Amino acid sequence: MRTAIVTGSSGFIGYFVSLTLLRSGWRVIGIDSLSDYYDTNLKLQRQSQLSAYAEFTVVNEKLETPQALMSLFKEHRPEVVIHLAAQAGVRHSIDVPRAYVDANIIGTFELLEAARAFPPAHMLLASSSSIFGANSQMPYKEADKVDTQMSFYAATKKATESMAHSYAHLYDLPTTMFRFFTVYGPWGRPDMAYFKFTKAILNGEPIDVYNHGKMQRDFTYVDDLVRAIVALINVTPDPANPVASDSVSPVAPFRVVNIGNASPVTLMDFIAAIEAACGLEAIKTYHPIQPGDVPATWADTSLLQNLIGQQHSTPVTDGLQKFVDWYRDFYKV
Protein backbone atom coordinates (compact mmCIF):
# COMPACT_ATOMS: atom_id res chain seq x y z
CA MET A 1 0.00 0.00 0.00
CA ARG A 2 1.36 3.40 -1.02
CA THR A 3 1.56 6.07 1.67
CA ALA A 4 1.05 9.81 1.14
CA ILE A 5 1.28 12.72 3.53
CA VAL A 6 -1.25 15.40 2.61
CA THR A 7 -0.91 18.73 4.38
CA GLY A 8 -4.02 20.84 4.68
CA SER A 9 -6.09 17.65 4.47
CA SER A 10 -9.14 19.26 6.09
CA GLY A 11 -9.02 22.20 3.69
CA PHE A 12 -10.99 22.50 0.48
CA ILE A 13 -8.50 21.03 -1.99
CA GLY A 14 -6.75 18.83 0.57
CA TYR A 15 -10.04 17.13 1.41
CA PHE A 16 -10.72 16.16 -2.21
CA VAL A 17 -7.12 15.05 -2.83
CA SER A 18 -7.17 12.90 0.31
CA LEU A 19 -10.56 11.43 -0.58
CA THR A 20 -9.42 10.55 -4.09
CA LEU A 21 -6.27 8.84 -2.82
CA LEU A 22 -8.17 6.86 -0.17
CA ARG A 23 -10.70 5.67 -2.75
CA SER A 24 -7.76 4.55 -4.92
CA GLY A 25 -6.30 2.39 -2.16
CA TRP A 26 -3.71 4.74 -0.70
CA ARG A 27 -2.84 5.17 2.95
CA VAL A 28 -3.12 8.88 3.77
CA ILE A 29 -1.60 10.76 6.67
CA GLY A 30 -3.45 14.07 6.84
CA ILE A 31 -2.13 17.05 8.75
CA ASP A 32 -4.17 20.19 9.34
CA SER A 33 -4.03 22.98 11.90
CA LEU A 34 -7.81 23.61 11.77
CA SER A 35 -7.11 27.34 11.80
CA ASP A 36 -10.02 29.69 12.39
CA TYR A 37 -9.43 31.71 9.20
CA TYR A 38 -12.88 30.47 8.20
CA ASP A 39 -15.57 28.32 9.84
CA THR A 40 -13.81 25.38 11.49
CA ASN A 41 -17.07 23.42 11.45
CA LEU A 42 -16.66 23.06 7.68
CA LYS A 43 -13.13 21.72 8.17
CA LEU A 44 -14.25 19.33 10.90
CA GLN A 45 -17.01 17.95 8.70
CA ARG A 46 -14.54 17.33 5.88
CA GLN A 47 -12.19 15.67 8.35
CA SER A 48 -15.01 13.51 9.71
CA GLN A 49 -15.74 12.16 6.23
CA LEU A 50 -12.08 11.28 5.70
CA SER A 51 -11.87 9.63 9.12
CA ALA A 52 -14.48 7.09 8.01
CA TYR A 53 -11.66 5.44 6.04
CA ALA A 54 -9.52 3.00 8.02
CA GLU A 55 -6.41 4.02 6.09
CA PHE A 56 -6.72 7.70 7.01
CA THR A 57 -4.72 9.07 9.93
CA VAL A 58 -5.29 12.65 11.01
CA VAL A 59 -2.86 14.91 12.84
CA ASN A 60 -4.16 18.32 13.94
CA GLU A 61 -1.02 20.39 14.18
CA LYS A 62 0.57 23.49 12.69
CA LEU A 63 3.24 22.74 10.10
CA GLU A 64 5.50 25.36 11.63
CA THR A 65 5.57 23.53 14.96
CA PRO A 66 9.21 22.44 15.35
CA GLN A 67 9.79 18.71 14.73
CA ALA A 68 6.09 17.93 14.12
CA LEU A 69 6.63 17.09 10.47
CA MET A 70 9.99 15.46 11.14
CA SER A 71 8.28 13.01 13.50
CA LEU A 72 5.56 12.21 10.95
CA PHE A 73 8.06 11.59 8.15
CA LYS A 74 10.19 9.41 10.41
CA GLU A 75 7.20 7.31 11.52
CA HIS A 76 5.39 6.92 8.21
CA ARG A 77 8.15 7.25 5.56
CA PRO A 78 5.78 8.59 2.89
CA GLU A 79 6.34 7.72 -0.75
CA VAL A 80 4.58 10.92 -1.82
CA VAL A 81 4.02 14.29 -0.14
CA ILE A 82 1.28 16.62 -1.34
CA HIS A 83 1.69 19.99 0.35
CA LEU A 84 -1.54 22.00 0.22
CA ALA A 85 -1.57 23.63 3.65
CA ALA A 86 -1.16 27.40 3.56
CA GLN A 87 -2.59 30.60 4.87
CA ALA A 88 -4.73 31.63 1.93
CA GLY A 89 -6.32 34.90 0.87
CA VAL A 90 -4.90 37.89 -0.96
CA ARG A 91 -6.81 40.50 1.05
CA HIS A 92 -6.22 38.89 4.44
CA SER A 93 -2.47 39.02 3.84
CA ILE A 94 -2.63 42.82 3.92
CA ASP A 95 -4.08 42.75 7.43
CA VAL A 96 -2.24 39.80 8.99
CA PRO A 97 1.04 39.28 7.10
CA ARG A 98 2.78 37.41 9.92
CA ALA A 99 0.30 34.53 9.58
CA TYR A 100 1.58 34.07 6.01
CA VAL A 101 5.21 34.02 7.11
CA ASP A 102 4.45 31.40 9.76
CA ALA A 103 2.22 29.06 7.74
CA ASN A 104 3.58 29.49 4.22
CA ILE A 105 7.29 30.13 4.66
CA ILE A 106 8.21 28.55 8.00
CA GLY A 107 5.70 25.73 7.52
CA THR A 108 7.16 24.90 4.11
CA PHE A 109 10.68 25.08 5.52
CA GLU A 110 9.78 22.49 8.17
CA LEU A 111 8.32 20.29 5.43
CA LEU A 112 11.45 20.56 3.30
CA GLU A 113 13.67 19.73 6.25
CA ALA A 114 11.62 16.62 7.00
CA ALA A 115 11.82 15.59 3.34
CA ARG A 116 15.60 16.09 3.37
CA ALA A 117 15.88 13.72 6.33
CA PHE A 118 13.42 11.14 4.99
CA PRO A 119 13.23 11.63 1.21
CA PRO A 120 9.94 10.75 -0.52
CA ALA A 121 9.86 9.62 -4.15
CA HIS A 122 8.01 12.78 -5.16
CA MET A 123 7.07 16.08 -3.52
CA LEU A 124 4.09 17.97 -4.96
CA LEU A 125 3.66 21.48 -3.57
CA ALA A 126 0.93 24.04 -4.14
CA SER A 127 1.79 27.47 -5.45
CA SER A 128 -0.66 30.00 -6.89
CA SER A 129 -1.49 31.87 -10.07
CA SER A 130 -1.24 35.05 -7.99
CA ILE A 131 2.55 34.91 -8.25
CA PHE A 132 2.27 36.15 -11.86
CA GLY A 133 1.38 39.50 -10.28
CA ALA A 134 1.66 42.45 -12.62
CA ASN A 135 2.42 40.31 -15.68
CA SER A 136 0.12 41.48 -18.46
CA GLN A 137 0.97 39.05 -21.27
CA MET A 138 -1.49 36.16 -21.23
CA PRO A 139 -2.03 33.28 -21.12
CA TYR A 140 0.45 32.88 -18.30
CA LYS A 141 3.23 30.39 -19.02
CA GLU A 142 5.36 28.57 -16.48
CA ALA A 143 8.52 30.04 -18.01
CA ASP A 144 7.31 33.64 -17.59
CA LYS A 145 9.36 35.86 -15.31
CA VAL A 146 7.52 36.23 -11.99
CA ASP A 147 9.11 39.08 -10.03
CA THR A 148 6.20 41.50 -9.61
CA GLN A 149 3.88 40.01 -6.99
CA MET A 150 0.97 42.30 -6.06
CA SER A 151 0.18 40.88 -2.62
CA PHE A 152 2.13 39.54 0.32
CA TYR A 153 0.30 36.23 -0.07
CA ALA A 154 1.69 35.95 -3.59
CA ALA A 155 5.16 36.89 -2.35
CA THR A 156 5.13 34.04 0.18
CA LYS A 157 4.06 31.56 -2.52
CA LYS A 158 6.90 32.74 -4.76
CA ALA A 159 9.25 32.28 -1.82
CA THR A 160 8.11 28.68 -1.36
CA GLU A 161 8.85 27.96 -5.02
CA SER A 162 12.40 29.27 -4.60
CA MET A 163 12.90 27.38 -1.34
CA ALA A 164 11.66 24.12 -2.88
CA HIS A 165 13.94 24.53 -5.91
CA SER A 166 16.98 24.97 -3.71
CA TYR A 167 16.18 21.79 -1.74
CA ALA A 168 15.48 19.88 -4.95
CA HIS A 169 18.92 20.93 -6.22
CA LEU A 170 20.86 20.42 -3.00
CA TYR A 171 19.29 17.14 -1.90
CA ASP A 172 18.02 15.64 -5.18
CA LEU A 173 14.37 15.80 -4.07
CA PRO A 174 12.00 15.33 -7.06
CA THR A 175 9.60 18.26 -6.73
CA THR A 176 6.62 19.50 -8.71
CA MET A 177 5.08 22.88 -7.92
CA PHE A 178 1.60 23.53 -9.27
CA ARG A 179 0.13 26.97 -9.75
CA PHE A 180 -3.62 26.89 -9.12
CA PHE A 181 -6.00 29.15 -10.99
CA THR A 182 -9.09 30.18 -8.92
CA VAL A 183 -10.39 26.81 -7.76
CA TYR A 184 -14.09 26.47 -6.92
CA GLY A 185 -16.65 23.79 -6.16
CA PRO A 186 -18.61 22.02 -3.39
CA TRP A 187 -17.07 22.12 0.09
CA GLY A 188 -15.24 25.31 -0.96
CA ARG A 189 -13.85 28.12 1.16
CA PRO A 190 -16.42 30.60 2.50
CA ASP A 191 -14.05 33.54 1.87
CA MET A 192 -14.14 32.94 -1.89
CA ALA A 193 -16.31 35.19 -4.05
CA TYR A 194 -18.57 32.47 -5.46
CA PHE A 195 -19.37 31.27 -1.92
CA LYS A 196 -20.14 34.81 -0.73
CA PHE A 197 -22.21 35.54 -3.85
CA THR A 198 -24.32 32.42 -3.43
CA LYS A 199 -24.97 33.12 0.24
CA ALA A 200 -25.94 36.73 -0.43
CA ILE A 201 -28.15 35.96 -3.44
CA LEU A 202 -30.08 33.26 -1.58
CA ASN A 203 -30.51 35.62 1.38
CA GLY A 204 -31.64 38.53 -0.78
CA GLU A 205 -28.60 40.59 0.20
CA PRO A 206 -26.38 42.71 -2.10
CA ILE A 207 -23.09 41.39 -3.46
CA ASP A 208 -19.88 43.41 -3.78
CA VAL A 209 -18.59 43.54 -7.36
CA TYR A 210 -15.02 44.84 -7.54
CA ASN A 211 -13.36 46.74 -10.38
CA HIS A 212 -16.92 47.45 -11.50
CA GLY A 213 -17.13 43.89 -12.81
CA LYS A 214 -14.19 44.30 -15.20
CA MET A 215 -12.39 41.18 -13.99
CA GLN A 216 -11.52 37.86 -15.59
CA ARG A 217 -10.54 34.62 -13.90
CA ASP A 218 -9.49 31.22 -15.17
CA PHE A 219 -11.97 29.41 -12.91
CA THR A 220 -10.98 25.77 -12.28
CA TYR A 221 -13.47 23.20 -11.00
CA VAL A 222 -12.08 21.24 -8.05
CA ASP A 223 -12.59 17.78 -9.61
CA ASP A 224 -10.55 18.81 -12.66
CA LEU A 225 -7.78 20.12 -10.41
CA VAL A 226 -7.64 16.99 -8.26
CA ARG A 227 -7.49 14.68 -11.28
CA ALA A 228 -4.48 16.64 -12.52
CA ILE A 229 -2.69 16.55 -9.15
CA VAL A 230 -3.17 12.80 -8.76
CA ALA A 231 -2.06 12.18 -12.36
CA LEU A 232 1.14 14.15 -11.71
CA ILE A 233 2.14 11.90 -8.80
CA ASN A 234 3.80 9.44 -11.18
CA VAL A 235 5.36 12.14 -13.38
CA THR A 236 8.58 13.09 -11.65
CA PRO A 237 10.69 15.89 -13.15
CA ASP A 238 13.91 14.85 -14.84
CA PRO A 239 16.24 17.53 -16.26
CA ALA A 240 17.70 14.95 -18.65
CA ASN A 241 14.33 14.15 -20.22
CA PRO A 242 12.30 17.32 -20.74
CA VAL A 243 9.00 17.37 -22.63
CA ALA A 244 7.70 20.05 -24.98
CA SER A 245 7.07 23.41 -23.25
CA ASP A 246 8.81 22.06 -20.15
CA SER A 247 9.67 24.23 -17.15
CA VAL A 248 11.97 21.59 -15.65
CA SER A 249 15.02 23.12 -14.01
CA PRO A 250 18.39 22.57 -15.71
CA VAL A 251 20.01 21.94 -12.32
CA ALA A 252 17.39 20.11 -10.26
CA PRO A 253 14.55 17.56 -10.48
CA PHE A 254 12.12 20.46 -10.17
CA ARG A 255 9.19 21.55 -12.34
CA VAL A 256 6.43 24.19 -12.19
CA VAL A 257 3.05 23.32 -13.74
CA ASN A 258 -0.03 25.49 -14.31
CA ILE A 259 -3.35 23.85 -13.45
CA GLY A 260 -6.24 25.89 -14.80
CA ASN A 261 -9.21 25.78 -17.12
CA ALA A 262 -7.32 27.60 -19.91
CA SER A 263 -10.45 29.64 -20.60
CA PRO A 264 -10.95 32.86 -18.63
CA VAL A 265 -14.50 33.92 -17.72
CA THR A 266 -15.59 37.48 -17.02
CA LEU A 267 -16.77 38.24 -13.51
CA MET A 268 -20.18 39.34 -14.81
CA ASP A 269 -20.65 36.04 -16.69
CA PHE A 270 -19.58 34.19 -13.55
CA ILE A 271 -22.19 36.07 -11.50
CA ALA A 272 -24.82 35.37 -14.17
CA ALA A 273 -24.07 31.63 -13.87
CA ILE A 274 -24.55 31.78 -10.10
CA GLU A 275 -27.81 33.70 -10.58
CA ALA A 276 -29.03 31.02 -13.00
CA ALA A 277 -28.07 28.24 -10.59
CA CYS A 278 -29.85 30.00 -7.72
CA GLY A 279 -32.83 31.02 -9.82
CA LEU A 280 -32.52 34.55 -8.44
CA GLU A 281 -31.01 37.84 -9.59
CA ALA A 282 -28.23 39.41 -7.56
CA ILE A 283 -28.40 42.89 -6.07
CA LYS A 284 -25.05 44.32 -7.16
CA THR A 285 -22.96 47.00 -5.46
CA TYR A 286 -19.97 48.12 -7.54
CA HIS A 287 -16.56 49.05 -6.12
CA PRO A 288 -13.03 49.87 -7.37
CA ILE A 289 -10.48 47.06 -7.57
CA GLN A 290 -9.14 45.99 -4.18
CA PRO A 291 -5.49 46.41 -3.13
CA GLY A 292 -3.34 43.43 -4.11
CA ASP A 293 -5.85 42.12 -6.64
CA VAL A 294 -5.19 41.62 -10.36
CA PRO A 295 -7.76 42.25 -13.11
CA ALA A 296 -7.27 38.97 -14.99
CA THR A 297 -5.73 35.49 -14.92
CA TRP A 298 -5.42 32.96 -17.72
CA ALA A 299 -3.45 29.71 -17.66
CA ASP A 300 -1.47 28.23 -20.51
CA THR A 301 -1.93 24.50 -19.78
CA SER A 302 0.17 23.14 -22.65
CA LEU A 303 2.75 21.69 -20.28
CA LEU A 304 0.10 19.95 -18.17
CA GLN A 305 -1.33 18.33 -21.30
CA ASN A 306 2.12 17.26 -22.47
CA LEU A 307 2.74 15.60 -19.11
CA ILE A 308 -0.57 13.83 -18.44
CA GLY A 309 -2.61 14.15 -21.63
CA GLN A 310 -5.73 16.12 -22.48
CA GLN A 311 -7.79 16.82 -19.38
CA HIS A 312 -11.51 17.33 -18.92
CA SER A 313 -12.51 20.95 -18.24
CA THR A 314 -15.84 21.41 -16.46
CA PRO A 315 -17.84 24.34 -17.87
CA VAL A 316 -18.38 27.09 -15.31
CA THR A 317 -22.17 26.79 -15.61
CA ASP A 318 -22.01 23.09 -14.69
CA GLY A 319 -19.51 23.59 -11.88
CA LEU A 320 -21.47 26.42 -10.28
CA GLN A 321 -24.71 24.45 -10.49
CA LYS A 322 -23.01 21.64 -8.57
CA PHE A 323 -21.77 24.13 -5.98
CA VAL A 324 -25.16 25.78 -5.50
CA ASP A 325 -26.83 22.38 -5.20
CA TRP A 326 -24.29 21.41 -2.53
CA TYR A 327 -24.70 24.76 -0.74
CA ARG A 328 -28.49 24.43 -0.58
CA ASP A 329 -28.21 20.90 0.78
CA PHE A 330 -25.41 21.65 3.28
CA TYR A 331 -26.98 24.80 4.70
CA LYS A 332 -30.60 23.64 4.23
CA VAL A 333 -31.70 26.66 2.19
- Its sign, for the CA torsion 326, 262, 155, 308, is positive
Q: Is 153 a catalytic residue?
A: yes
Closest CA to 286 of 216, 210, 214, 231: 210
Q: Which of 37, 153, 194, 221 is catalytic?
A: 153
Known catalytic residues? 153
